[in-house]
Amino acid sequence: MYLLKRYEEKKVLVTGGLGFVGSNLALRLAELGAQVHVVDALLPGCGGNRFNLQPAGDRITVSIQDLRNRDFIEQAVAGTDLIFNLAGDVSHLGSMEDPEHDLEINCRAQLALLESCRRANPSVKIVFASSRQLYGRPLSLPVNEAHQVEPVDINGIHKRTAERYHFIYGVYGIRATALRMTNTYGPRQLIRHNLQGFMGWFIRQALLGEEIVLFGDGAQLRDPVYVDDAVHAFLRAGVSPAADGQVFNLGHEPVSLLTIAETLIAICGRGSYRLEPFPPERRLIDIGHYYGDYWKAERLLNWKPQIGLEEGLRRAVEYFREHGEHYL
Amino acid sequence: MYLLKRYEEKKVLVTGGLGFVGSNLALRLAELGAQVHVVDALLPGCGGNRFNLQPAGDRITVSIQDLRNRDFIEQAVAGTDLIFNLAGDVSHLGSMEDPEHDLEINCRAQLALLESCRRANPSVKIVFASSRQLYGRPLSLPVNEAHQVEPVDINGIHKRTAERYHFIYGVYGIRATALRMTNTYGPRQLIRHNLQGFMGWFIRQALLGEEIVLFGDGAQLRDPVYVDDAVHAFLRAGVSPAADGQVFNLGHEPVSLLTIAETLIAICGRGSYRLEPFPPERRLIDIGHYYGDYWKAERLLNWKPQIGLEEGLRRAVEYFREHGEHYL
């Protein structure tokens, strides 16, 4: 498989590499023979977890560092072939409660990384983990990359700002790709609290046999992507010159929140759900149905999701059953 | 005239009110009978100049404070009817040299102001000074508000981010209007250096009898707005409910940089110009021709520019001839 060859011996930096998607990506890169350097600040609430890289032993170098530490980051990016930039905070509600914190993590830290690249490695390629959140409330479905960008929360605004930073730095030679991720789920996800999306929240509650609360009628559609599929998109984007300067949606067959809850309850053999009206602070930033059109990724990256919802949730539940003490 | 009545006794806060447009606006508001409170941090390079408010005597309250000083700003916004939010840094080149500084001034300070409003005055109306810079290189001319937003520099990215902040805070009740200003010129402008746009730069050089350097062939079109016209747009937006939640271009008849230089040289009776190739750092963020479609402002705000280029430049030159020692 061509990817395997492309990553052999490559020097790769993964920011946010102790987090959910970052750690799964780092582990896969190490399997592919890359020299992987993970940088993670382990900021509270951002999902970093040292246990996530436990399978790698000492094959992955880990630095607990903040992207805003310019001296360190300049050294880290110098000589790197490729940066997978997954550091960030993904909480929508949190960004409304503390927008200045979100600004620090999702804008200033990104600018600091790019400034380091400009100085120490201006020809590097960066794949940036962006978010479908920046579209806001869909005007039409599925949402493609030409859809208007009208974020409904500060996190979405800042993700868009950070995307733009990456492309602006093209004037210095930096090649960038942004993947607009949709709800991702699977092993190593932060499931301890409810601030990193409903997938981790539902998984935790089903595992613990609790009652999952669905807001509204539970019919809202989403397109959850299993983490291995998301990782695959990053790997493709990292070695595809056609991806330079481009944004791509990830996506999957749409499914309702109710179906996701029911599937989880069936897999776990426990738990339940109930419907409840939206709390006002969530209503304000709710986006209704969302599912993305990932035809552009299919065409230019030869990517599409391989893992169905039931299979993905089964793998996630198995992982957390085995390693629950590190996540609950 | 209806505006006059509307502003009488109104409590108005003007951020950046010692700056170029802010001070002209504050003076006009005071004439209209408003209770004007100017807040300005006098940040180096941002154009604040105490002399700008000299004609007001003690009719305008001035606080030298940073928007990021939350305690002070919360007190300042409490009980205010209207905020004209003109604080910011407008240097495109500067934003590329020090993007983190631009982030502080054009994003963090804006968030801090809005957070203060959310806490102390969530039903306030804000008119935000945005910029045509966020459009980037025009795809078609004139540029209307539906034109794509693809800024070519960090300053443009951050202006767009700050616009979005204002509208997101609508969820708390804040009513906002953004005016996308184009090159503005006139009395009280910062003309001392070249970082606040070419208008101030050209005016200074013609006044001093220097040689104006035009990059490229000098044929680039712009639509410079005389400051009294810009002030008028702010006044209209401040009292028009139809403006809530809206962005508006300002604009004027397009004119070439060469014509602007020639007009200035004729008015001043001195100075000269020469053509020179673009320096590389300017070439990267040059946007080619720009002129805006201001039909939306005409329709919803009943605004259009009244002062022609020659008349405006003549007034500017007269002002700086009289008060040059405070600006040169």
Query: In this predicted structure, what is the pLDDT of residue A72?
Result: 96
- For residue A89, the one-letter residue type is D
Q: pLDDT value at position B1? A: 57
| Residue B196 near residue B186, CB atoms below 8 Å | no
Determine whether the interchain pair A161/B158 forms a contact, defined as Cβ–Cβ distance below 8 Å: yes
Residues on B contacting A at a C-beta cutoff of 8 Å:
99-100, 103, 107-108, 111-112, 115, 151-154, 157-158, 160-161, 164-165, 168, 171, 284-285
Taking an 8 Å cut-off on Cβ atoms, the answer to whether A153 and B168 are in contact is yes
Which of A68, A157, A165 best probes binding to B when mutated, by most B CB atoms within 10 angstroms? Answer: A157
The answer to pTM > 0.90 is yes
Strand B82-85 to B221-222 pairing: unpaired
Residues 6+ apart with CB under 8 A from A257: A198, A214, A218, A219, A220, A222
For residue B99, what pLDDT is reported? 97
Buried b or exposed e, range A261-290, using 16+ CB within 10 angstroms: bbbbbebbeebebeeeeeeeeeebbbbebb
Residues A103, B111: C-beta atoms closer than 8 Å: yes
Question: Can you tell me the mean pLDDT for B99-109?
Answer: 97
Of A157, A159, A187, A196, nearest to A307 (Cα)? A187
Residue from the list A100, A153, A171 with its beta carbon closest to the beta carbon of B111: A100
Mean pLDDT of all residues in B253-273: 97
Architecture of domain B2-189+224-252+292-307: 3-Layer(aba) Sandwich (3.40)
> Residue B250 and residue B320: Cα distance in Å, rounded?
24
The model's pLDDT over B283-323, given as tens digits with 9 standing for 90+, comes to: 777 788 999 999 999 999 999 999 999 999 999 999 999 99
Break chain B into its structural domains and give their ranges. 2-189+224-252+292-307
Q: Is the pLDDT of residue B3 over 80?
A: no
- Of the residues B115, B163, B168, the best mutation for testing chain A's interface (the one with the most A CB atoms within 10 Å of its CB) is B168
Return the pLDDT at A47: 87
Report CA A142 to chain centroid distance, whole Å. 20
CA distance A194 to chain B (A): 22
- In chain A, residues with a C-beta closer than 8 Å to the C-beta of B158 are 161
Answer yes or no: are the C-beta atoms of B215 and B286 closer than 8 Å: yes
Top pLDDT among A318 and B93 is at A318
Predicted complex ipTM: 0.92
User: How close is the nearest chain B Cα to the Cα of A315, in Å?
Assistant: 38
Packing angle, helices B309-323 and B198-207, rounded to 10: 60
Given a cut of 90, whether residue B46 has pLDDT beyond it is: no
CB contact under 8 Å between A157 and B168, yes or no, is yes
Is there a contact between A115 and B103 if contact means CB atoms under 8 Å apart? no
**Averaged over B233-251, what is the pLDDT?**
97
Q: B186 with B132: CB under 8 angstroms? A: no
What is the crossing angle of helices A309-323 and A198-207, to 10°?
60
pLDDT at A115: 98
**Res. B4: pLDDT tops 90:** no
Topology of A2-326 in CATH?
Rossmann fold (3.40.50)
CB contact under 8 A, A115 and B100: yes
Question: Which chain B residues have a beta carbon less than 8 Å from that of A112?
Answer: 100
Alpha carbons B39 and A53: distance in angstroms, whole number: 51
Q: What's the gap in Å between the CA of B260 and the closest CA on chain A?
A: 30
Check A171 against B284: CB less than 8 A apart: yes
Quickly tell me which residue has 């509307």 as its tokens: B6
Could you tell me the pLDDT band of residue B152, with boundaries at 50, 70 and 90? very high
Q: What is the mean pLDDT of residues B61-87?
A: 97
Retrieve residue B222's tokens. 């712009």
Per-residue pLDDT of chain A (328 residues), as tens digits, is 577 789 999 999 999 999 999 999 999 999 999 999 999 999 988 889 999 999 999 999 999 999 999 999 999 999 999 999 999 998 888 899 999 999 999 999 999 999 999 999 999 999 999 999 999 999 999 999 999 999 999 999 999 999 999 999 999 999 999 999 999 999 999 999 887 789 999 999 999 999 999 998 999 999 999 999 999 999 999 999 999 999 999 999 999 999 999 999 999 999 999 999 988 877 777 788 999 999 999 999 999 999 999 999 999 999 999 999 999 9
